[in-house]
Amino acid sequence: MSNSNINSNYSPNKVAYNQNPVESRKTTGVDIINYLEKLKRRWKPALAVFLLTVGATVAASSLLKKQYQAEGKLLFKSNSTQNSPFVEGAGEIKNVPNNQTSLLTQQQIISSRHVLQQTIEALKLKNEAGEPMLPEALKQKLQVKIEDGSDVIKIGYKGEDPYNATKIVNTLMDVYIGERIRSNKSQTANADSFVNNQIPQVEQNLKKYESILQDFREKNNIVDIKEEKRVLVSELGNLNRQIATVGADLKGTQAQTSALQSQLGLSLNQAIAVEQLGNSPTIHSVLTQLAQTESELAEERKRFKDNHPSIVSLQDKKASLNQYLQQAISNSVGKGVKVSEGLLQSDSVKQNPLDRFITLKIEELSQQRQLASLYQYQEVYRKRAKELPRLEQKEQEMERYLDNARENYDNLLTTQQEIQILQNQQPENVEIIEVATVPNKGSSGKMALIVLGIILALFLSNFTAILLEMQDRSLKTINEIKQKLPYNVLGMIPFDPEADHQGIVVQREPDSFASEIYRIIQANLKFVTSQQPPKVILVTSSVPGEGKSTVTANLSAAIAQLGRRVLLIDGDLRRSHQHKLWGTTNGLGIKDVITKKAVFKEVISQPMSKLDLLTPGIIPGNPLAILDSAEMAELVALGRRDYEIVLIDAPPLPVTADVLTLSKLADGIIFVSRPGVVEQESAELAKEILTNTGQKILGITINGVNPQDFDRYSYYGKYGKGYFHSNSSSQMAIAPH
């Protein structure tokens, strides 16, 4: 079975010492217990600082005198002055928002140096030296606060004289109101001057913009662009409908005239000429004569032959009339134009085709002119429609300038009227709603100072404890040691202030609880390796004073009491302690064995059964030469052969190189550490040296543990003491739990 399995399944160390409630609490991230432990360690200086601070506060509070506080209140209301855009002074034309004078601003004005100085002068206030009080001194005792959720400012003054405090508050409020009145008058005068200067300029701008707009409208024939746009759209629609109607009528008329013209073979002018010719009396007479001649010729042909003189005469007359008629047509209508006699004859009953043609042709020309006129109107309207958006934009721009000028002008006139009203009656927006009265009760502030002193004392006492802890670099708790030296804990030995004066506790009281702890340590050594248990064990520490020699002596005694032969070698050749602990001499020892001046069995002493002690002897100098010699290796080998276990009490690790030399001769190292003695840097250095040795670290023994910490961390610390006290006469065995 491997070493890890042995340790996980059963280990007295695990049962007795790893029940650590503090580590489970640290997982919550709140290191309150660690803080309380530090405070507990430094309770004396912390208590001294606390008492000193509280005492100083109580002493200081006895010097305080009773103070009386007088209070008055001011109410701020809005008035027409705040709504005027020019009351705050001359400037550019703009609108100023309401509530311009905020409560915060008035709060600063009340406590301003100017107002305070006037109050001091009005009351002739003096300081303790009899000199005029400074505004800064008055301001320190003055309280100017804005009441939450209201338009009220509360003014308070605290002093030793209640009547004087009342006068100061009331006078301060009167001075402030007087300053407000003078300020408003000054602002009104400035505003009046500014408005009077601005009105002519704004009026001139107004007239200029009105003239520009009027010229623009006259030049572009604008009366009302919006109405014109509406009418224009309507007219364009009517024109489009008329154009469509006239166009359709024109096409019908053109079709009729084209058909008649093809039938008659005459143009309009020719048709008119024919009509005029037909209306001529001469032509009418010729046509009449021609008709009579035709009639007479028809009658004569009934009686005579064609060669009859009457017929010939009528034919000549007919030819002469036709010739005259053709000559007249040629002269009026044109040569080569054939016109039938029927076209020249008018019929009042039936319309002549020639008249119909002329009428249609005239109607066609009229429709063409009408259509052309409609197209002209349409083009004019379209050009106007295209021009209107630009004109409208330009007009709107001019109207904006005009509206702004008119608005500024109206504002100026309104403001002028307001200023005239303000000049006649000066309204004020602040009033005293509560005058200061003489206070009956005063307060010295002793209790508040004492409470503050107690809070300060708590802070300083905690700060003192923390500061002392920060300056102390030692590892004070078991947890801190385990974090710096992460080795298996073989055992924890409680602090006993009388142990150093009573010798070896295991030898003196073998059945005591302290002796049992060392037997637990030797028992734990059996489980540190899965192979053969170590025979040569080196015991060392980080710094002197951690009790490694005492631990080594008691551990040797505990093993010897179990019937095992033990050799205890005091390897600290520079500062040996084992002979003092056991009460033996140090005349002969390691040095004498190494130099062959003495026999090993003659040098060792036997302070108790089964335990042999080898002291250093008198070392003249250079102890490392003795420890690093072959004879020393032979000496350890002899102990390995003749004894069941060899314990070497070595010097502290960082102090000398002796430990590095002795570690080569050992099977493992036991490291002893003591809370409050070893420092963080020494522990880190010792850990680094232990790592560099390459030797197996059997575990760590924590010596000198505070009894409370021992009871909290150790199972046997909680229950073992009472168990051993009640059964001190009997030999107790260790039972696994």
Q: What is the pLDDT of residue 10?
A: 33
Decide if pLDDT at 259 tops 60: yes
Looking at the DSSP bridge assignments, the partners of residue 102 are: none
Q: What is the pLDDT of residues 137-177, one digit of tens each?
A: 898 889 999 988 888 999 999 888 888 989 999 999 999 98
What is the rounded average pLDDT of the residues 85-97?
41
For the ranges 115-124, 440-449, 495-504, the lowest mean pLDDT is seen at 495-504
Task: Give the phi and the psi of residue 166 in degrees, each rounded to 5.
Answer: -65, -45
Secondary structure (3-state) at 25: helix
Confidence class for position 527, pLDDT limits 50, 70, 90? confident
Higher pLDDT residue, 266 or 502? 266
d(CA 566, CA 654): 27
Secondary structure (3-state) at 134: coil
CA-based nearest residue to 272, from 336, 357, 342: 357
Tell me which DSSP letter residue 70 carries.
E
CB atoms within 10 A of CB 365: 14
d(CA 541, CA 555): 15
Higher pLDDT residue, 705 or 290? 705
Higher pLDDT residue, 580 or 418? 580
Q: Strand 668-673 vs strand 697-705: parallel, antiparallel, or unpaired?
A: parallel
Q: What is the pLDDT of residues 491-519, one digit of tens each?
A: 898 887 665 556 799 998 888 888 889 99
Contacts of 647 (CB under 8 A, 6+ apart): 537, 539, 552, 555, 556, 559, 566, 567, 568, 569
Q: What is the pLDDT of residues 43-87, one digit of tens each?
A: 888 888 889 888 888 888 777 777 888 899 998 876 544 445 444
Q: Which CATH architecture describes the domain 486-494+512-702?
A: 3-Layer(aba) Sandwich (3.40)
Q: What is the pLDDT of residue 551?
A: 94
Q: What is the pLDDT of residue 257?
A: 86
Task: Give the phi and the psi of residue 266 in degrees, each rounded to 5.
Answer: -125, 150
d(CA 544, CA 193): 95
Q: What is the pLDDT of residue 8?
A: 35
Q: What is the pLDDT of residues 661-684, one digit of tens each?
A: 898 999 999 999 988 887 778 788
Q: Give the domain ranges of the chain.
A: 31-63+444-471, 486-494+512-702
Tell me which DSSP letter residue 147 carries.
P
Confidence class for position 644, pLDDT limits 50, 70, 90? very high
14-27 CB burial, b ≥16 within 10 A, e <16: bbbbeeeebeeeee
Query: CB pairs under 8 A, 24+ apart, for 103-111?
Result: 103/76, 103/146, 103/151, 103/153, 104/146, 106/76, 106/153, 106/430, 107/144, 107/145, 107/146, 107/153, 109/176, 109/179, 110/74, 110/144, 110/153, 110/155, 110/172, 110/176, 111/139, 111/142, 111/144
Q: Which amino acid, residue 221?
A: N
Decide if pLDDT at 266 tops 80: no
Confidence class for position 339, pLDDT limits 50, 70, 90? low
Decide if pLDDT at 221 tops 80: yes
What's the burial of 610, exposed, middle or buried (CB within 10 Å: 0-12/13-18/19+)?
middle
Q: What is the pLDDT of residue 424?
A: 56
What is the rounded average pLDDT of the residues 77-101?
46
Decide if pLDDT at 577 tops 70: yes
Decide if pLDDT at 714 tops 70: no
Looking at the DSSP bridge assignments, the partners of residue 585 are: none
Confidence class for position 538, pLDDT limits 50, 70, 90? very high
Q: What is the pLDDT of residue 604?
A: 94
What is the rounded average pLDDT of the residues 568-590?
91
For the chain, give the percent of residues with pLDDT over 90: 21
Decide if pLDDT at 543 tops 90: no
